[in-house]
Amino acid sequence: MSINDFQIIESKGAITETFDVQDRTNSGLTVTIKPGEALMQSGNYVVPVTDGKPVIGTDEFIGFAQTESTEDATDDGTVEVTLPVFSKTVIRGRATTATNINTEAKLLLYKQNCVALDVSSLKQTVDENQATDPNTLSMKIIGGDIDKGTLDFVVQQKVGYASGTVGQTRDA
């Protein structure tokens, strides 16, 4: 994957925790997790978010990698992950189709839409092309930069780590 697909621009109480990453032979991953990648739970491990994910009620979204993961072909490793606080931590990422948001009027059409993430060519983007559905799609667009082709979003409270309280420790 790519470094800095997503950047946290307003942390508002987000915390960072260490998570396990399965070795690449058993996980099927071909490269390490890079800082800025969106991650979700898969069994006892975190993995990069796949295309069209995370979905409310199906996927457990974790957060965004802050370090490169340390697993290799045969040994499990770890990765530091920032856990966003629902509806408060603001994340920035590239729009899947930058021309969809290249004017203020176009960007306005996407604000408050709930979308998932797009993954193609080892890059994660905000998939503004998806129909908005707050019941299944977990990322809410709150703004963007028309010149840079980026969207700012927050994570909805309905999807997330552990008991549904991203931003709190596992024992909370």
pLDDT, tens digit (0-9, with 9 covering 90-100), for 41-63: 999 999 999 999 999 989 999 99
Q: For every residue of 77-135, which 3-state class applies, written as one string?
A: EEEEEEECCCCCCEEEEEECCHHHHCCHHHHHHHCCCEECEEEECCEEEECCCCCCCCC
Look at residue 159 and tell me whether its pLDDT is greater than 60. Answer: yes
pLDDT, tens digit (0-9, with 9 covering 90-100), for 131-156: 788 889 989 999 999 999 999 999 98
d(CA 86, CA 1): 25
pLDDT band with cut points at 50, 70 and 90 for residue 79: very high
Q: Rg of the chain over CA atoms, in angstroms?
A: 15
Per-residue buried b or exposed e for 84-123, using 16+ beta carbons within 10 Å of the residue's own CB:
bbbeebbbbbbbbebebbeeeeebeebeebbbbbbbeeee
pLDDT band with cut points at 50, 70 and 90 for residue 169: very low
